[in-house]
C-alpha cells in the first residue's frame, strides 16, 4: 500500500536569499505499508536543489508501479527525482526501523545514544543594524552558531553587516555566511579577503554551483577562510567535489540528495576525505525535518546543523517531536521516525 497526499505550507515570514524570497513550501506526504508497518515520507521539491513539483508528482506515481513489478530496491534505484526518492526512501526506512524497534538514527548506523544535536540559527538579508539585532536575539535564545545570508547586497555592504555582527556578539559565537552562489570569482576573492579578520567558521557556496574548479582554486589560493559547498551537490557527484578538493565543509540536504540513506553515505565519504559534513534542510515540513535530525544524530561529532527551521513555517504537517532549546535540537527516541500525524 502507498498513499500520496499533496500539501501546502505557508512560511511565517519570507526567507530572503540571494536567489530571491521563499514564501511557501509545497510537496507530498507519502505513506508506505511495509511488512505490517506504515512508514512516513515527505517530498518537498525546491527548484535549484531538486526536481519541480510536477516532476516529483510523476516520479511518485511511477515508483510504486515499478516496485510492484520488481521490488522497492529497484524502484529506489530507478527514481532519479531526488525529492520523490527522499519520500520513498524515508518511508521505507521509517517502517524498517519500526520493525527493528529502534529509532531511525540507530537504524542508519549509530549504535550510541544521541539525545540532542547542535543547531545554528539562520538570519536572512537585512541592513547591518537589523542583522546584528537578529543575531543578538538568536544568541540570547541559546544559539552558539548563526548563519547569515549574504550575496543580495554588494560585497562591501555584506562585509559591513558581518563586521557589525562580530562587534556586537564578540568572539565566542560561531558565524557562518551563506552566499547561495551569488558571487563571481572576483567578488568571492574580495569577500573572503574582507571577512578573513572576522574569524568566520566558513563561507557557504560563494560562487555558482557548477563552478567546482573555481571553488577549488579559491580554497587553495592562499585564502584562510574555510569554504562550504551546498548547491554544488545538486550539480555534481560528491566524488567530483572531493576529488577536486573544492570544500572544507559539505552542507548535506537529504531532500536534495535523494534520501536519508544517501545523505548518511555522503557524510561517510566526506569524513573519509577529511571534509566536515553539516546537515541542513530545504525548509521542509515536520516529517522531512525530523528525518534530517535523525541523519545528523547518525553522524558522530557533527557540528552545528541547519535544522532549526520549524519556526519559518506558519503551520506544519503535525506536532514537532524535535523541539529546539539552547541551540540544540531534540532527537526523538521512539521507534522509527518518531513523528505522529494522528492517523496511525
Provide CB contacts within 8 A for 332, sequence distance 6+. 103, 104, 290, 293, 294, 321, 322, 338, 339
C-alpha cell at 92: 521505507
Nearest alpha carbon to residue 225 among 254, 189, 252, 257: 189
- Is residue 178 a known part of a binding site? yes
Which of 61, 98, 147, 253 is catalytic? The answer is 253
CA angle (337 as vertex; 282, 292 as ends), nearest 5: 25
Q: Is there a contact between 122 and 147 (Cβ–Cβ < 8 Å)?
A: yes
Burial class (CB in 10 A: 0-12, 13-18, 19+), 252: buried
- Is residue 204 a known part of a binding site? yes
Q: Is 253 a catalytic residue?
A: yes
Provide CB contacts within 8 A for 232, sequence distance 6+. 205, 209, 210, 211, 212, 215, 241, 246, 247
Which of 61, 98, 147, 149 is catalytic? The answer is 149
Q: Which residues are catalytic?
A: 149, 253
**Residue ranges at the known binding site:** 178, 204, 230
**Residue ranges at the known binding site for Mg(2+):** 178, 204, 230
Amino acid at each position: 500500500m502507498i498513499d500520496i497526499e499533496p500539501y501546502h505550507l505557508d512560511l511565517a515570514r519570507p526567507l530572503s536569499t540571494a536567489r530571491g524570497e521563499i514564501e511557501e513550501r509545497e510537496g507530498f506526504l507519502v505513506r508506505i505499508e511495509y511488512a505490517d508497518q506504515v512508514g512516513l515520507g515527505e517530498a518537498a521539491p525546491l527548484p535549484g536543489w531538486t526536481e519541480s513539483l510536477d516532476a516529483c508528482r510523476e516520479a511518485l506515481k511511477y515508483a510504486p508501479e515499478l516496485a510492484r513489478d520488481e521490488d522497492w530496491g529497484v524502484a529506489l534505484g530507478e527514481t532519479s527525482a531526488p525529492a520523490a526518492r527522499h519520500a520513498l526512501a524515508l518511508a521505507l526506512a521509517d517502517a524498517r526501523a519500526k520493525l527493528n524497534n529502534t529509532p531511525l538514527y540507530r537504524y542508519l548506523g549509530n549504535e550510541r545514544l544521541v539525545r540532542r544535536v547542535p543547531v545554528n540559527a539562520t538570519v536572512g538579508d537585512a541592513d547591518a543594524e537589523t542583522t546584528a539585532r537578529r543575531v543578538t536575539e538568536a544568541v540570547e535564545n541559546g544559539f552558539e552558531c548563526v548563519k547569515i545570508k549574504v550575496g543580495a547586497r554588494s560585497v562591501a555592504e555584506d562585509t559591513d553587516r558581518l563586521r557589525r555582527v562580530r562587534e556586537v556578539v564578540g568572539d565566542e559565537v560561531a558565524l557562518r555566511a551563506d552566499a547561495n552562489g551569488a558571487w563571481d570569482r572576483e567578488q568571492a576573492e574580495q569577500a573572503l579577503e574582507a571577512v578573513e579578520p572576522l574569524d568566520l567558521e566558513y563561507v557557504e557556496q560563494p560562487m555558482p554551483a557548477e563552478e567546482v574548479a573555481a571553488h577549488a582554486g579559491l580554497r587553495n589560493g592562499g585564502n584562510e577562510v574555510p569554504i562550504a559547498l551546498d548547491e554544488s551537490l545538486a550539480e555534481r557527484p560528491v566524488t567530483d567535489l572531493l576529488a577536486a578538493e573544492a570544500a572544507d565543509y559539505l552542507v548535506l540536504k537529504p531532500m536534495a540528495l535523494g534520501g536519508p540513506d544517501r545523505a548518511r553515505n555522503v557524510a561517510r565519504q566526506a569524513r573519509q576525505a577529511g571534509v566536515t559534513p553539516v546537515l541542513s534542510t530545504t525548509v521542509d515540513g515536520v516529517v522531512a525535518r525530523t528525518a534530517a535530525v535523525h541523519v545528523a544524530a547518525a553522524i558522530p561529532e557533527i557540528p552545528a546543523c541547519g535544522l532549526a527551521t520549524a519556526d519559518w513555517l506558519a503551520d506544519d504537517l503535525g506536532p514537532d517531536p524535535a523541539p529546539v532549546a539552547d541551540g540544540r535540537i531534540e532527537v526523538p527516541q521512539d521507534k522509527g521516525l518518531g513523528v505522529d500525524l494522528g492517523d496511525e
